[in-house]
Amino acid sequence: MRGMIAALAVTGALLLPATVQAQTRIITGTVTISGSGQPLPDANVTVAGSTAATRTEASGQFRISAPQGNVSVVVRAIGYKRGTKDVPSGQSSVDFSLEKDALQLESVVITGQATTVDRRSATTAVAYVSGDELTKAPAPTFENALVGKVSGVNLQSNSGAPGGGIQMQIRGNNTILGAFDPLYVIDGVIYSNATIASGRGTISQAAFATAEDDAVNRVADINPDDIASIEILKGAAASSIYGSKAANGVVVITTRRGQAGQTNVTVLQRFGQFRPTKTLESRHFDEADAVKIYGAGVAHWFDNNPSPYFNHFDQVFTPSSLSFETVADVSGGTDRTRYFVGTTNKHDGGTERNTGFDRQNLRVNVDQNVGERVKLAVSSVYNRSTNDRGWNNNCNNFACHGYAFAYTPSFVDYTARDASGNYDTPDWGIQVNPVQTTDLAKNHEETNRFTGGLNINYDALSSARQSLKFVVGGGLDVFQQNNNLWSPNELFYEQPNTLPGAAVENNGNSKFYNWNLNGIHDYEFTKFSLHTSGGVQYEDRQLRTSRITTTNLVPGQRNVGQGTNTVGTENLTQERTLAFYGQEEIRLLNDMLLVQAGLRAERSSVNGDVNKYNIFPKVSAGYRLLNLLGEGSELKPRVAYGETGNLPVFGQKFTLLGTPQLGGVTGFTVAGGAGFGGVEPERVKEVEVGLDGIALKSRLTWELTGFRRNTTNLLLQRVPAPSTGFATQVFNGGKIENRGVEAMLGVTPIQRPNLQWLLRTTYTRYTSEVQDLAGLPPFRPPLSGFGGLGVTFIQVGKPLTQLVGRSFGADGKATTTDVPIGNTAPDYKIGLVNDFTYKNVSLSAVLDYQHGADIINLTQFLYDDAGLSADYGSAAWEYRMKGYNGGVMTPYIEDASFLKLREVNLGVQLPSRWVRSVGLGARSVRVSVSGRNLLTWQRYSGLDPEVANLGSAAIRNNLDVAAYPPSRSFFFDFSLGF
Amino acid sequence: MTMTTTHSIRTARTRTGRRPIARAVIGAVLLAACNNFDVQNLNAPTAETLTSSPSKEVLARAAVGAQTQTFTSIGGIIQQWGIYGREGWNLLGNDPRETGEEIRGPQDPGGRAGGIWAGEYGAIRSLNTYEAALANASGLTPQEVKAGLGFAETLEAWHFHLLAIRSGPTGIPIDVDHDISAPPAALVSMADAMAAASALYDQGLADLQAGGATFPFSFVGGYTGFTTPATFVKFNRALAAKLLVHRATFAACAACWAQAATAIAASFITTTGLPDALSTGVYFGFTSAAGESANPITEALTSNRYFLHPSLVTGAQLRANGQPDLRLSTKGAPAPAPRTLNELTGTYKPVMYNLPVSLAPNLDADIPWITNEELILLRAEVRWNTADKAGAISDLNLVRVNAGGLAPTTLTAASADSAFITELLYNRLYSLMWTQGTRWIDARRYGRLATLPIDRTGDVVHANMLIPSAECDARGLAVPCKIGG
């Protein structure tokens, strides 16, 4: 590796003695906002064909040195369309008036650890969402707020529980065993999205002990109000800068920073509520039927009412407590020092009694110029998230509500109490009362997190022709998650237990840090420019989880020390990566043609051979055709090829011994997973082509991308013949292909001073195919589902997401073998964003449509098993029961298509004379009402087609077993700007 | 590594003394390069622990691990084979398969019907690894090696025996001691599999006899009285005898009757000290200690989970005083309330693993593996089939009188075979109820599956379990698969 460093140093040294332009002149001017005429501070001013750059002051004024002769001055600012003006040799001043950039034509796109390029020139598809778009309607997490707004990305909630638990999938499934979530990078800091199960399943006796805990994925800690922009690197050519952590795409989040100029203070107050959107009905009973089935003991339920009927959802899932969010930001600064301080306090009530989600944040971002050449940027945030997740999903002792509802006849009133105020002892067959469960059982989570980053930019050389800078970046992301669960002895479902009463103390400690050093050299020739960069990056990730579970508690006590049967577990995973990279970017033909190529070489501690450097190349090109579709139009064909990787999961190279304990002695056993000492990263190879355009005087823009990505060298888990004594073995091999089309279209049909209408739509379609399994027979992947109740099944020639199970054959009888019965991947998704602005009033709405995808309705299966389905005795019921009795799942596979009105926001910017009359000294006042998930159209007969009993998984199983029901929210916002 | 690093840093300083950035870059890179990338797994011992010249202590751990693995499936065996054979029901209602698939079918080789397989082969892999490790162990005497081998072979034979019973005509793989990358072992017939298990018991016997005075490891609970090679031999012979009787009936092995008689004689069978001595034997020694294996069947009387099949209550013979067979009244008790689920009503709870008198759950309750009571019944069966019918009647009566409190049987040496078998199976059911699925196995052995009670129209009695889907998949065979198909 010393050779590589030397090469880097030599490159830098050769370019150092630069020619300095002898003759320069000064151009001054002012930048204002079109319409209002207000000065625009902190806009970026450059001179085309030179490296000169400056920023406007608070007054909107700038001063820049330029070469002699005719030059072109370009002004850019986030959220505004660029301004370009020719300045002849004799002219020394020029003014600009910038228009708002509703279609986001002016954003920049990341091309490397420390390099970017204008979106107009970008050679790969990168989704961009601004912070303003995320916070129109309040969202529990930023992922909720992204839904419907970006193409190529599939975002689905695992349940309706408050506070997150969402899976983001970029360009389809690319793995079976490897990491399946994108890499998250916030202000240059690699950010953990670990999902740490709470341990609820150990109390509710879930079949898959931790997967069914409905855990939060930890990007839920990110405060949407902090976000300035999100860029999603979708394809391998774009994401290959993150090497073998980038196979599932990279989500790059930039937080808000201060701008030079006057101090801005914003205070936002929101109030709202979450309400259940749907409940399930149950079979009606008369006394005779009830007594026949449940015995004479249930006759008393009919004492005062011949046909009692209670919807049990209504007794447990009710409109939430008052939800609120307070956001207060202060930002500002001078040309040399800029700061942003943001605080948030948020409470989302849950619809399940005694559940909810709270988050507090304090962010401090500071930018400081040191001397003329050094810029320092510090980002830091402290988050605290707390969560009460409730008792849902699959269980085996009725401690999960939906499961209990399915087995409780409708004449039972959970809220009934006896003379002394105690809940009636269950006499309806199952030993649980969910209302009592929500009263007494605790499922609490608290996470404290600090994320801090530092970026130092050193301008080593800056001349009219060339510049050299060094960028040092890095940061730390640490969190501690604690789960505290208590299932008290007196709960009806605990009483039959041999050791009643349970408590769980669960901890997750995560520590990520990373740093990188970059050298960036730009050389502007008259006809073309060269941009060379290279660097080194080091990443260290560690996650330690531990859990103490106890049973047979002392009555009334919840401390894990107060039980007699206590078990502790601990797990530590560690990963280290060292990478070297270099890339070259050539801009030709007056910036019309852009060609990029790069290489990344990295080693990682989780690979079998820790000394081997894996190489990830990328190459891409884009050509801008101007004025082809009319004055000011652009058409850009582009093509890219890239490779990324997906690291082995920690531990895959080790064969561990089992350590069962008996008689006070811990024994060793072989069995379980067999390790693979030569394990390597998976490799994604992707070709991407695109055709982007801007037309109709910048009122129409689109991005059209087709891609084909092959994941080879898959991490596969052979299920060896169980007779070998091993349950699993990992190896590399096989191939998955994902191909798809994604499109984004933005248009402003109406653009008048008083009335604007902005419409943006996204389209995402992809299909996967298993092309090779390296000789493996078809197999059930981990967490594929429940035995004969419909499972995902990996088979060559089939989509990764197919479901198999028994079906009805041509003869109407159950097939003897499993056959394909569904597919959990949607055919396509469409998002539609509409923004209307009339004078001071704005209305925005986001629609989200999913077509296709199948879901397994095991909740219905439970009702049928209990004989309590609402349609008991009907033809539809008979059809399902035919399947139920024959082990056929097809009657329980349903269409998961949906159309959801995700967001609506109606806001008014109060006229300034009203604001003055309020007299708080505020500059602006805005009030708005908003709602999320207000309307849903679905074919699915269950609660919500967006559900995953087994949580986030590489291959989503769309399994509905008594999940936390969905909710809709309404908020009233009041915002003051000072 | 250390030397090179120091040298590099010194060189870098000289060269780049005036360029702080370059110095920082190179310094940082070297820092990263020096970080140890050979990150170990600190969560558990790795397989190398057993394969690289293991110590006596490590091997002792492996022997204990092998013992724990015999506990793994017994709870599932009692429940599933008990449900198959109508010894009992699980009426909790949380899993539809317990009153559906297991009683009504169809069997699912991807789920319940494919169970009691992977755990057994996992145990066999551990035992084979232990046997291989003994060969290159350090610090063991040759006798200790033999003793370890004899112990391991006995347990291995037991696992193969269970597998052969569960699978019946589908066959099972036997030659499984190969690397994981080798092709799956061939399926062999039930008769051949049982013969192979017999050979393993015999090999175990030979090794135990050469095994000196002590084992080089400790025993978990349940082996009291059988923890030296000399006494463990009696356990080995008891299990071997049970297998031979199964071979005689399942696989029509006529010669097995005589071999069984020899094995029983070499076991711990005794007729002195009855009735207390009926319970002499080896048990699965469950314990309520934290993190250990608790009795998987015991539960509160109020629980809706386990119930005796009503035919056990109605079918119990009466004692002279008009009360039912003692074995019913000590092993079962009326439930506080009847439990009905899917048209099945349970009224009697199994309490053999609960505390006496109070009938409270007892997580420490041991489950019989093989006892003197079973050996006497095995000898009765062997004697009937080896021309000692009087001896058979006498053995049967030992159990009837001492365990059941019943009068001696009215059968005589002149009675028909079928009458004797009916009486034998009655006593085996009540002596061995809720231990190893005896009713189901016996009904299969004697072609009497059709005599088991059918409680609902459409219910069936399964004749065997299926080869798990994963095993078929790994062989490229369609599910469900079986030998020769």
Q: Is pLDDT at B12 greater than 60 in this prediction?
A: no
Q: Is pLDDT at B3 greater than 60 in this prediction?
A: no
Higher pLDDT, A974 or B30: A974
pLDDT given at position A19: 43
* Residue-wise pLDDT tens digits, B250-271: 999 999 999 999 999 999 999 9
Q: Is pLDDT at B481 greater than 60 in this prediction?
A: yes
pLDDT (mean) for B31-59: 81
B289, A664: Cβ pair inside 8 Å? yes
A407, B63: Cβ pair inside 8 Å? no
Show residues of chain A in contact with B66, CB under 8 Å. 667, 669
Higher pLDDT, A76 or B439: B439
The pLDDT confidence band at residue A780, using thresholds 50, 70 and 90, is confident
pLDDT given at position B28: 60
pLDDT (mean) for A738-760: 92
Show residues of chain B in contact with A780, CB under 8 Å. 110, 469-470
B35, A667: Cβ pair inside 8 Å? no
- Say how far apart CA A687 and CA A707 lie, in whole Å: 6
Which of A2, A548, A647, A724 is the best residue to mutate to test the B interface, defined by the most B CB atoms within 10 Å of its own CB?
A724
Q: Is pLDDT at A239 greater than 80 in this prediction?
A: yes
Show residues of chain B in contact with A606, CB under 8 Å. 39
CB pairs A-B closer than 8 Å? 262
Which of B15, B34, B37 is the best residue to mutate to test the A interface, defined by the most A CB atoms within 10 Å of its own CB?
B37
What b-and-e string marks burial along A471-508, b requiring 16 or more CB atoms within 10 Å of the CB? bbbbbbbbbebbbbbbbbbebbbbbbbbbbbbbbbbbb
Across the strands, what pairs with A272? A323, A971
B39, A576: Cβ pair inside 8 Å? yes
Show residues of chain A in contact with B178, CB under 8 Å. 724
* pTM of the predicted model as reported, rounded to 2 decimal places: 0.81
Q: Which residue in A9, A431, A572 is closest to B22 by CB distance?
A: A9
Q: Can you read off the two tokens belonging to residue A447? A: 């996470």
The pLDDT confidence band at residue A372, using thresholds 50, 70 and 90, is confident
Q: Which residue in A9, A431, A657 is closest to B46 by CB distance?
A: A657
Show residues of chain A in contact with B50, CB under 8 Å. 657, 668, 670
- Say how far apart CA A242 and CA A504 lie, in whole Å: 37
Q: In chain A, pLDDT over 90 holds for what percent of residues?
A: 66
- Say how far apart CA A947 and CA A941 lie, in whole Å: 13
A777, B474: Cβ pair inside 8 Å? yes
B123, A865: Cβ pair inside 8 Å? no
- DSSP secondary structure string for all residues of B155-204: HHHHHHHHHHHHHGGG-EE----S-TTSPPPPEE-HHHHHHHHHHHHHHH
Distance spanning both ends of chain A, measured CA to CA: 54
* Residue-wise pLDDT tens digits, B389-424: 999 999 999 999 999 999 999 999 999 999 999 999
pLDDT given at position B29: 60
- Say how far apart CA A255 and CA A222 lie, in whole Å: 10
The pLDDT confidence band at residue B27, using thresholds 50, 70 and 90, is low
Q: Which residue in A566, A719, A726 is closest to B125 by CB distance?
A: A726
Higher pLDDT, A244 or A462: A244
- Say how far apart CA B266 and CA B201 lie, in whole Å: 13
A726, B180: Cβ pair inside 8 Å? yes
SS3 B265: helix
pLDDT given at position A69: 83
A788, B110: Cβ pair inside 8 Å? yes
Q: Which residue in A498, A604, A778 is closest to B298 by CB distance?
A: A498
> Which residue is associated with the tokens 């724990």?
B68
Smallest CA–CA distance, residue A464 to chain B, in Å, is 23
pLDDT given at position A22: 46
Distance spanning both ends of chain B, measured CA to CA: 59
Q: Which residue in A605, A669, A675 is closest to B69 by CB distance?
A: A669
Smallest CA–CA distance, residue B265 to chain A, in Å, is 31
Show residues of chain B in contact with A962, CB under 8 Å. none
pLDDT given at position B375: 98
Show residues of chain B in contact with A724, CB under 8 Å. 121, 125, 176, 178, 180, 184
pLDDT given at position A663: 83
The mean of the pLDDT values for chain A is 90
pLDDT (mean) for A178-192: 94
Smallest CA–CA distance, residue B250 to chain A, in Å, is 23
Contact A357, A387 (CB under 8 A): yes
Q: Which residue in A665, A674, A726 is closest to B64 by CB distance?
A: A665
pLDDT given at position A966: 93
Q: Is pLDDT at A919 greater than 70 in this prediction?
A: no
Q: Is pLDDT at B11 greater than 50 in this prediction?
A: no
B43, A651: Cβ pair inside 8 Å? yes
Looking at residue A361, its amino acid is N
Window from A93-97, B2-6, B54-58 with minimum mean pLDDT: B2-6
Show residues of chain A in contact with B100, CB under 8 Å. 885
Higher pLDDT, A260 or A456: A456
Smallest CA–CA distance, residue A55 to chain B, in Å, is 26
SS3 A313: helix
Smallest CA–CA distance, residue B228 to chain A, in Å, is 18
Q: Which residue of A has its CA nearest to B111?
A: A787
Cis status of the peptide bond prior to A945, with omega within 30 of 0: no
B363, A866: Cβ pair inside 8 Å? no
DSSP-derived pairing of the beta strands A755-772 and A726-751: antiparallel
* Residue-wise pLDDT tens digits, A135-163: 888 888 999 999 999 999 999 999 999 98
The pLDDT confidence band at residue A331, using thresholds 50, 70 and 90, is very high
pLDDT given at position A13: 41
pLDDT (mean) for A902-907: 95
B58, A668: Cβ pair inside 8 Å? yes
Smallest CA–CA distance, residue A176 to chain B, in Å, is 17
Show residues of chain B in contact with A727, CB under 8 Å. 118, 122
pLDDT given at position A329: 95
pLDDT (mean) for A422-443: 93
Q: Which residue in B71, B121, B294 is closest to A722 by CB distance?
A: B121
- Between CA A676 and CA A779, with CA A784 as vertex, the angle to 5 degrees is 55
- Between CA B245 and CA B256, with CA B250 as vertex, the angle to 5 degrees is 40
Phi and psi at B105, nearest 5°, equal: 80, -175
Phi and psi at A778, nearest 5°, equal: -55, 145
Q: Which residue in B106, B288, B474 is closest to A721 by CB distance?
A: B474
B300, A538: Cβ pair inside 8 Å? no
- Say how far apart CA A717 and CA A781 lie, in whole Å: 8
Looking at residue A80, its amino acid is Y
B221, A780: Cβ pair inside 8 Å? no
- E strand spans, A320-441: 323-333, 337-349, 356-370, 374-388
- Say how far apart CA A101 and CA A99 lie, in whole Å: 6
pLDDT given at position A16: 42
Closest by Cα among A158, A138, A371, A401 to A271: A138
Tell me, rounded to whole angstroms, the distance of Cα A709 from its chain centroid: 21
Q: Is pLDDT at B455 greater than 60 in this prediction?
A: yes
B64, A667: Cβ pair inside 8 Å? yes
Closest by Cα among A685, A684, A190 to A476: A190
A866, B470: Cβ pair inside 8 Å? no
- Say how far apart CA A279 and CA A293 lie, in whole Å: 25
Smallest CA–CA distance, residue A402 to chain B, in Å, is 13
pLDDT given at position B20: 59
pLDDT (mean) for A246-254: 94
DSSP-derived pairing of the beta strands A959-960 and A819-823: unpaired
Q: Is pLDDT at A12 greater than 50 in this prediction?
A: no
- Say how far apart CA A503 and CA A521 lie, in whole Å: 59
* Residue-wise pLDDT tens digits, A559-615: 999 999 999 999 999 999 999 999 999 999 877 899 999 999 999 999 999 999 999
Q: Can you read off the two tokens belonging to residue A746? A: 């933005």
Greatest Cα pair distance, chain A, in angstroms, is 104
SS3 A483: strand
Q: Is pLDDT at A914 greater than 90 in this prediction?
A: no
pLDDT given at position B242: 98
Q: Is pLDDT at B4 greater than 70 in this prediction?
A: no
Which of A398, A567, A669 is the best residue to mutate to test the B interface, defined by the most B CB atoms within 10 Å of its own CB?
A669
* Residue-wise pLDDT tens digits, B109-122: 988 999 999 999 99
Q: Can you read off the two tokens belonging to residue A360? A: 């507090």
Q: Can you read off the two tokens belonging to residue B447? A: 């072609």
Show contacts of A422-426: CB within 8 Å, 24+ apart: A423/A492, A425/A492, A426/A492
Show residues of chain B in contact with A663, CB under 8 Å. 64, 218-221, 285, 287, 292
Q: Which residue in B66, B71, B176 is closest to A724 by CB distance?
A: B176
Q: Which residue in A431, A663, A670 is closest to B125 by CB distance?
A: A670
pLDDT given at position B404: 96
Q: In chain B, pLDDT over 90 holds for what percent of residues?
A: 82
Show residues of chain A in contact with B290, CB under 8 Å. 564-567
Q: Which residue of A has its CA nearest to B16?
A: A9
* Residue-wise pLDDT tens digits, B295-339: 999 999 999 999 999 999 999 999 999 999 999 999 999 999 999
Smallest CA–CA distance, residue B114 to chain A, in Å, is 10
pLDDT (mean) for A619-637: 91
pLDDT given at position A210: 80
Across the strands, what pairs with A365? A340, A379
